[in-house]
Structure 1
C-alpha cells in the first residue's frame, strides 16, 4: 500500500489505485496526447536517472519556466523531487531581471523552459547567472538543448537503484519547492514549502472535494507555477482524475468543448468574463426569450443552498435550469460539476448565479505561505455558505488576533522565506503565520474575509 508522505508518492498511489490511461493529457499538433500513469512514472524515473548522470545532488535546485501547463512540467516535477533536489517554478511573464534575481538567489543549476520566447528572455541574462549550467527546452527550438534528449539519456536503467536510494532518503520534512512571490516592495521572496506542507494540504483539501474518483476529467489552465493550481493537480493525481491541460487562455472555450471537463479551477476575473459574455448574449435576445433569460437570472441571484428558498423556488429553478441554464452548461463543455475559485474575492452574485445554474462554485482562501489552502467551502454536509470562504480545513488552526488579523497554524505553514530569517520571524510568531488579512469566524465556523491586505492564493511572481 503506497503511503503518501512526499509529493512524488502521488503518481505511485495513482498507479496502485486507478492506473489511468490518460493521467496527463496535452494538445500537440491538433491532437490530445495521453500519458498513462505508468508512462508518467517511467518518464519521471528516466528524468531522475538523467539528472543523476548530470551530477545532481540532494538539495540542488532546478528551475522550470513554462508559459503553459503541460505534461512535461509534471514529469519534470516528479523527476526532480525523486533525486532529493528542489523544483523552483518561475512565473513566465516576469521580467528578465527577475529571472536573473530568482535563478541567482535560488542557486539553480539547471533550468527547463517551455518555448523560444522564454528561452530568449533567459538567454539575455544567462551570462549574469554564474551557477546556471544548462538550459533545456520542452519545445524543439534553435540554440537550446532539448528536454526530450535529456529524458532519452536516462533510458539506461542501470542507476535506477541509486534513484530508489535517493527517494528513500527524502523525508517528509525536507524542502520540496521554493516559490517566489512578488513582494509589494523590493525583490521577490522565496517561500520554502516542504513535502509535508503540500501533502498535508492536498489530503485535507481532498476531503472537501466532492469528486468521483477514477472517472473524472479536470481542465487545468491557471499557472502551474502558482501553488493554488499546483496543489490542485496533486489533488487530481491523488483522486485518479485525468488532467487535461488547456492550450492557452485564448483557446479555453474550444478546449472546454473538446474535453468536457467535470472540474476546473478559476479566478474571479475569469468567472466575471464568462458571466459578462453570457449576459451580453442574453441582452441581445428579443421578446419572450429575453424575458425568460432575465427571469432566470433574477431567480439565480436569489439562490440559497440547502433548499432554504422552499419548494416553489426549487420548482421555478428546475424550469430555469432546463430552459436557460442548460445552455450555460453547454458553453462550458456540458459536464461541469464543480468550479474551484481562488486568488481573489469572489462576488457573491457570481457564486449564487453559477450554483443556481447547476455549476457549484467552491470558494476557498489561502496564501502561498500556507501551501495554499486554509479554508474552503464544501457543498456537502452543510459546509457551504455564500459570502464566506468556507470552514477551516482539517489539522489547521485559525485564530483571529485582537486587531482582527487572521492567524494560521498547522502542517501547511511554510518552512520560511529562503535566505531571509528576519522576514520569516516577522510573519511567523509563536508558530502562527500572520496572513495580513482581516477576518472573522461566525457562529457556525465559517471564515469570512472582511479586509484584504494580501491577495488570496497570492500569485507566484505574477499579477
Structure 2
C-alpha cells in the first residue's frame, strides 16, 4: 500500500456497499457507503486539482469535526497535496501563522464565520489563492468559492498512482503546553503503519460502529480516520460536544475514543446527580460504586471474587450500572482514552460499571498511536504495551524514547529542532515513564512539567490534579502549582453544568460568581483536597487553593485543543493569585 487514497480505493473495491460514514441530518442520521464516499472524494479531488492542489502543495482545513472534513482531507491527499490542519478555535492570527508557515495555497473553511476570520488577515496571507467554503457564501471577488460548486476534469486514478508512501500527507501543528507551534511532518507511510498496527491487534472489525467527535485537526482524530478505512469500520461523525451524550444513546456505538476530561465529566455528572437525589438513591449508588470498585480492584490483582461479592455485584449492576450503560446505547465494548493521563479513579469507576476504558499513548510526532491497553489484559495506571512495530527505550533520566515507522520525518522548516527531537534515531517524547515486567508503559509525568519544590522534592502535578477532580464532582479543572516554591497550591474551576443543579437543590445561589466564594462550595473543595492529601507525602500535599471566577477554555488559551492545560498560560493569567498563596 503506497498511500491513504490507495487505501481508500482498496476499501471501496473490497466493500463498496457497506456503510462507511453516518452524519447528522434533519431526520436523524444519513448513511454513506464506501462507494458513495469514493465518488464524493473523487469529485472533490478533481475540483481541488483544478484550483492548483497537487504534489508539493499544501491545503489547509479550518473546520470542526464533520463528514466534510474527512471528505476534504481524503480529496486533498488524492491530488498528491498534503493537508495542513487548523483548529477551528484558533484565532485569525494563529490561523495565519499556520497557513503561512506551512505554505498552504488553498484553505478549506467551514462557514462564513471562519471565512470572516481569514478575511480579517487577508493582507497577511499572500500565498492563499483560494478559500473553499463548506457552508457559506461565495465572494464576489472570486477569492472564496463554495465546495459544492467545484468541478474539474482529469485522471483521478493517475493522481493516486503517482503518490509515494514517503510523500508528505499531513502537517499538524502541535498546540503544545508551552512554546510556539511546530509543524509535524507526517507521511503517508507514517499513517499507514499506525493504522496497520491497530488492525493487527484484532480488537476492531467491520461489525463495530465508531462514534467520532474528536477534533480531526488533532493527530488522535486523524489516526482514527485512517484506521477505520483500513479495517472498514463504519463511523458516525459529529463534533458537537453538547451532543455527545445524546448521540451515544441514539447511535448505540460499540466504541468511542475521548480525552480524559470527557470521562471525568460523565462521572462527575452521575455522582452529582446522585448527591442531589439524596436519600435511598444516593445510598444505593454509593453501595453499588463501592461494590463495583471491590470487584474491579480484585480483577486487577488477578484475585478470586468471593461468591457473596459476586452476588452483590450482580445486584449493583442491575440497580445502577446497567442503567448507566444503557445511557451510552447499551453496546459499548470499550472506550479508548488518550491525549492526557487518565486518573486511576476514572479507570476503576468505568470498569466497575462494565464500561472499560483502554488507555493509550502516543504523540503527534509519532502518528498518535504507540501504546494501548488490550481489552483482555487492561492494567490501570499504564498505557499498555507498545503497538506492533513500535519500539521503546527508557533513557537514563527516565525519558521515554520511541522508534518505528510511525515517527515523523521532522518539524517543518526547523532542522535544529528536528535533530534534537530525533537524536540517535529515537523520538525524544519529553515524557517520563517506566516499563513494568509485562512491558506495559507507565507515564509518570511530563519531563518539563514536573514541579520541583524549593526543598528539592519532585511532584507530578497532573497526577494530583486528576485525583482531586475525581474526589469532587463539582470541579471542571484543577491546576497544581509549586515549582521552586516551598509548598504546593491549587487553582480550581467549577463545572457549572454539574454544580448548578446541586446549588439550586441546596438553596444556594446559582451563578458562578457567588458560588465560588460560598462556604459550602469551599468546604466541598477542601474536603476533596484533604481526602487526597491524606494519601500523599507531606511535600506533595496541597496547602492552599482558590476557586477561579471562570473556567479554563481553549478560547482563553489556557487549554490546548485536546483539552490539556497550558501551564505557562495559566501561570501568566493568574500570577497574582498564585503569588498571594506565598505572600506570608
1:131 aligned to 102, 114, 127, which one?
Answer: 127
Structure 2 segments unaligned to the other structure (5+ residues): 450-461, 463-558, 565-584
- 2:199 corresponds to 1:206: yes
CA distance in 1, matches of 2:68, 2:165: 24
Aligned to 1:145: 145
Give the structure with the higher percent helix: 2
Task: Quote the RMSD (CA, aligned, Å).
Answer: 2.2
**2:56 is the alignment partner of 1:59:** yes
Residues 180, 461 of structure 1: 8 Å contact kept: no
Q: Specify whether residues 185 and 445 from structure 1 end up closer, same or farther in structure 2 by C-alpha distance, changes over 3 A only.
A: closer
- Work out which of the residue numbers 275, 280, 286 in structure 2 matches 1:294: 286
The match for 1:236 is 228
Shift in alpha-carbon separation, 1:140–1:398, aligned structure 2, 3 A: same
Q: Whole-Å Cα distance in 2 between the matches of residues 349 and 461 of structure 1?
A: 21
Structure 1 runs of 4+ aligned residues shifted over 6 Å read none
1:105 to 80, 98, 101: 101
Larger radius of gyration: 2
Q: Distance in 2 between matches of 1:248 and 1:351?
A: 25
Post-superposition CA distance 1:34-85 (Å, at most 9, x none): 2211011111111222222223331110010112x11111111111111211
Q: Is the 8 A contact 2:212 2:239 kept in 1?
A: no
Q: 2:19 aligned with 1:22, yes or no?
A: yes
Measured in 2, the distance between the counterparts of 1:453 and 1:74 equals 34
| Residue of 399, 405, 408 corresponding to 2:402 | 408
Output the CA distance in 2 between the equivalents of 1:225 and 1:142: 24
Unaligned runs of 5+ in 1: none
Give 1:427's match in structure 2, choosing from 395, 416, 421. 421
Higher relative contact order (CA 8 A, sep 6+): 1
For 2:315 and 2:178, the matched residues in 1 are separated by: 52
Partner of 2:237: 245
Q: Deviation per CA, 1:336-361, whole angstroms, max 9, x where unpaired?
A: 22111001110111111112211110
Distance in 1 (CA, whole Å) between partners of 2:18 and 2:149 is: 24
Q: Among residues 285, 302, 310, which one is paired with 2:305 in the alignment? A: 310
- TM-score, length-scaled by structure 2: 0.73
Aligned length: 448
Q: For residues 283-335 of structure 1, give each alpha carbon's deviation from its aligned partner in whole angstroms, at most 9, with x where no partner exists.
A: 23354433221111112333133763425344432322222101111222222
1:31 Cα offset (Å): 3.6
Cα distance change on mapping 1:430 and 1:23 into 2, 3 Å = same
User: Are positions 1:218 and 2:214 aligned together?
Assistant: no
CA distance in 1, matches of 2:188, 2:126: 28
1:179 touches 1:460 (CA, 8 Å); kept in 2? no
1:227-254: CA deviation from partner (whole Å, max 9, x where unpaired): 1011012222222221111251012222
Aligned residue number for residue 256 of structure 2: 264
Q: Residue in 2 aligned with 1:440?
A: 434
Match of 1:182 among 175, 178, 184: 175
Structure 2: how far apart are the matches of 1:283 and 1:460?
Answer: 31
Matches within 5 A, 1:78-89: 78-89=74-85
Contact map agreement 1:188 1:461 (CA 8 A) in 2? no
